[in-house]
Amino acid sequence: MATATVAYITVVALSIAGVAAAATPAATKYTNHTVGGDAGWFFNATTNTSSANYSSWAATQSFNLGDFLLFNTNMDQTVIQTYNETTYHSCSVDDALDSDTFQYDGGSNQVGATTIPVPLTMEGANYFFSSASEGVQCQQGMAFEIAVSRGLGLPPSLNQPPPPPYVAPPTPSVDQSPHVTVDPAGGGVRTGANLRWAVSALLFGSGFLFVRR
């Protein structure tokens, strides 16, 4: 009797797992999610409310590595991404670490509409909030949490090592001239140049396509 009961429980568990897998189809493409839908990422200072319920919006989405969040907002608005739950609940970046909390474009004194793209590059819990007005906007609903699944994994455009740290070139001594190479054919002078990291290629690399949801 005990064996039959265990077998029955196992069959039921497998059936539930199968239904759950069917209800959550595997990702077949990378998706761009417009945060808040048509409402965007805004805060009404008069009513002291955010333009959307961002937690409710996030609950309707499925997020995977390689997807982008698109924040349609103002240039003076802030977008904070963190993997630190304590930082998220504090609605502040004052004690945040550079290794787990990032501020994207925004927070400037300029006025105008802008779209801030944020790539999802880490699996698991990701937190987002506005740090404007000393955390008041975050406390009034301008914050949300998402769970990022593996999906298709990171695309090549996002799966890149970070750029090496900048090392200042040595200062030449007074009696030492900088090295140059003279091109005999053209008579020109060729000097070395530093290759800067191309952030636009990281965010909008090959295969990146806007798909509004």
Q: Report long-range pairs for 38-45 (Cβ below 8 Å, ≥24 apart).
A: 40/71, 40/72, 40/73, 41/71, 41/72, 41/73, 41/77, 41/79, 41/116, 41/130, 41/142, 42/73, 42/74, 42/77, 43/77, 43/130, 43/132, 43/133, 43/137, 43/140, 43/142, 45/133
The residue ranges of every structural domain in the chain are 28-159
In angstroms, the CA 87 to CA 97 distance is 9
Query: How many residues does the structure list for the chain?
Result: 213
Cα angle at 79 between 83 and 52, to 5 degrees? Answer: 105
Write down the mean pLDDT value for the chain: 77
Q: Quote the strand ranges of 26-67, DSSP E.
A: 32-34, 43-44, 49-50, 63-64
pLDDT in tens, 26-50: 788 999 999 999 999 999 999 999 9
Hey, CA dihedral for 150, 154, 155, 158, is it positive or negative? positive
Q: How much of the chain, in percent, has pLDDT values that exceed 90?
A: 54
pLDDT in tens, 46-65: 999 999 999 999 999 999 99
β-strand pairing of 80-82 with 101-103: antiparallel
Q: Is the pLDDT of residue 208 over 90?
A: no
Burial 115-131 (b: 16+ CB within 10 A, else e): ebbbbbbebeebbbbbb
In angstroms, the CA 132 to CA 71 distance is 15
Q: Which H or E element spans position 146?
A: strand 143-149
pLDDT level of residue 160 (50, 70, 90 thresholds): confident
Q: Which H or E element spans position 118?
A: strand 113-119
Cβ within 8 Å of residue 28, ≥6 positions away: 152
Q: Are 117 and 128 in contact (CB under 8 A)?
A: no
Q: Is the pLDDT of residue 21 over 60?
A: no
CATH code of the domain occupying 28-159: 2.60.40.420
β-strand pairing of 101-103 with 32-34: unpaired
pLDDT level of residue 108 (50, 70, 90 thresholds): low
Q: Is the pLDDT of residue 155 over 60?
A: yes
Q: Are 120 and 148 in contact (CB under 8 A)?
A: yes
